[in-house]
Structure 1
Amino acid sequence: MSETIGIIGAGNIGSQVARKAVELGYDVVISNSRGPETLTELVTELGPRARAATAEEAAAAGDFAVVTVPLKAYQDVPVAPLAGKVVIDTNNYYWERDGHIEALDRGEATTSGLLQEHLPESKVAKGFNHIAAADITTDGTPSGTENRRALATASDFPEAAALVTRLYDEFGFDTVNAGPLSESWRVERDRPAYVVRQNAAELEANLAKAPRTA
């Protein structure tokens, strides 16, 4: 029986993750902030493995979840149905869109750390935040490919980082684990690793040289 991914957020990243997941044989339950009826076109494109739902329904249906909403909306993510589950957070801080968040501006917090605080019983892992949406379905290559593109994750839970690593590999990417969520700032916006094509060695180097405040 195939796993189900609950996807909360159907924007560029969410819809691309859904496309690749369906291609790989996952079932997808996807939601957005405007209601399932607005996702008819996307779900029709995705085919029988996908259905639209509310955020609560997507969270409840998923064996694990991908949260890909604007950072300013992270506190709208349903808490109870995600308890005990791995939650992959794709978020990035765009103060121009989200408004200023002082703890992020001062380098005292991370975007994924904020979501972990909001979801205290979930296992949050950073994922898919530093790749252009279009590349998710086009840049992957088989395991062992020379110069394979690498993506980073970070989590306070080894099993969450392991799930992201497995998913990355299935999507066609190597993984570099940046450590706990407190280190996930290394792959946030305006850092050297952000939205550039890099292999694992290059990604490790870019994570290491990242400045704490951009």
Structure 2
Amino acid sequence: MQIGLIGAGKIGACLARKFKDAGHSVRIANSRGPETLADLAKEVGAMAVSVVDIAKQSDVLIISVPMKAIQQLPANLFDGARHDLIVVDTANYASFRDGRIESLEKGVPETKWVAEQLGRPVVKAFNSISIDSLRKRGRPKGSPERIALPVAGDDQRAKSVVIGLIDEIGFDGIDAGGLDASWRQQLGSPLYCTDLSASQLKEVMQDLTADDHAKLGERRDMALTRLAELRNGLITGDVTQLMRSLASLPGSLRSKLLQRRTKP
């Protein structure tokens, strides 16, 4: 499969490596031009291309940039792209970094807003796992330690493809419904960076209510404050333990998870 990635930060670069290792053809792009990605492309075995060319060369296009950068993508980004191109959004909104986006502050699901900016159907995935877990915690199918990742979108075929890709890199992809429900995997939700198994994720996802949605912004801001206090930054396993401690998980599951240290 031809996989394109816009954004070569921690998540984007990690996904490029994993998909290349899984046997896919990988292209990477950023706003500064392909020459700035030469070292990463060589290391990963990917091809560095320009942003305006990447969509037309991809079956799946993963956009892994800060939310504020979505509006800065080229207007002709999708010129020449296949009509059934699958677009994946990995971003999480943080007002201190992205600036205040009023519709998101009012509770519009983040990827619905992204889809509106892009003018394309979008799948939400890879936003709910820490870089530490993404790098280290992929496991063979059937492993009791295998982490599940929610995948939200309105196109069933697109979701199925993304779920298949997630399976290939060592995680269980779980259909999390349409974009209206994608708030359940945003920062502030108990699905965010808590490294749940497939059965646990489904249990928690089904228990979330409209009241949880209404409180999501408050919980997001509290989580961001606590994340900024982590001694070793956001790339360590401490993120998972912190998110578990803050999450509104069912009591028995919360106690069970908090008793377990994150394994490397």
Instruction: Calculate the TM-score normalised by the size of structure 1.
Output: 0.91
Count of residue correspondences? 208
* SS state at 1:128 partner: coil
**Runs of 5+ consecutive residues of structure 1 not aligned to the other structure:** none
Q: Counterpart in 2 of 1:115?
A: 114
Alignment-mate amino acid for residue 62 of structure 1: S
1:75 to 61, 65, 71: 71
Greater C-alpha radius of gyration: 2
Q: Does 1:63 align with 2:56?
A: no
How far, CA to CA, are the matches of 2:158 and 2:171 in structure 1?
17
Aligned-residue RMSD, C-alpha: 1.5
How many angstroms does 1:137 deviate by? 3.2
Per-residue CA deviations over 1:144-167 (Å, capped at 9, x if unaligned) read 222421000100000111011101
> Aligned-pair distance for 1:4?
1.1
Matched letter for residue 119 of structure 1: L
Deviant stretches of 4+, over 4 Å: none
Match of 2:156 in 1: 158
Partner SS state of residue 30, structure 1 = strand
Cα distance in 2 between the residues matched to 1:79 and 1:118: 12
2:50 maps to which of 36, 51, 54: 54
Matching of residue 192 in structure 1 with residue 190 in structure 2: yes
The answer (yes or no) to whether the contact 1:16–1:134 under 8 Å persists in 2 is: no
Change (3 A) 1:171 1:11: same
Q: Which amino acid is 1:178 matched to?
A: A
Q: Residue 100 of structure 1 corresponds to which residue in structure 2?
A: 100
The gaps in structure 2 that reach 5 residues or longer are 217-264
Percent sequence identity over aligned pairs: 38
1:10 aligns with 2:40: no
> Alpha-carbon deviation of 1:62?
0.9
- Whether the 8 Å contact between 1:20 and 1:136 is mirrored in structure 2 is no
**Does the residue aligned with 2:174 lie in a helix, a strand or coil?**
strand
Residue 141 of structure 1: how far off its partner (Å)? 1.1
Amino acid at match of 1:93: Y
2:90 aligns with 90
In structure 1, give the amino acid aligned to 2:55. A
Report what 2:254 is aligned to. Answer: none
* SS across alignment from 1:137: helix
For residues 101 and 78 of structure 2, the distance between their equivalents in structure 1, rounded to whole angstroms, comes to 21
Q: What does residue range 118-157 of structure 1 map to in structure 2 within 5 Å?
A: 118-120=117-119, 122-157=120-155
Aligned-residue offset at 1:19: 0.5
Structure 1 residue 81: Cα displacement: 4.3
Corresponding letter in the other structure for 1:110: P
Any conservation in 1 of the 2:2–2:59 contact (CA below 8 Å)?
A: yes
Task: Report whether the alignment pairs 1:183 with 2:181.
Answer: yes
Asked whether the 8 Å contact 2:56–2:78 carries over to 1, the reply is: no
**Pair 1:205 & 2:203 matched:** yes
| Kept after mapping to 2: 8 A contact 1:136/1:171 | no
Cα distance, 1:119 vs. partner?
A: 3.1
Q: Report which of the two has the higher share of strand.
A: 1
Tell me, yes or no, if the aligned pair for 2:147 and 2:172 is still in contact at 8 Å.
Answer: yes
Secondary structure at 1:25 match in 2: coil
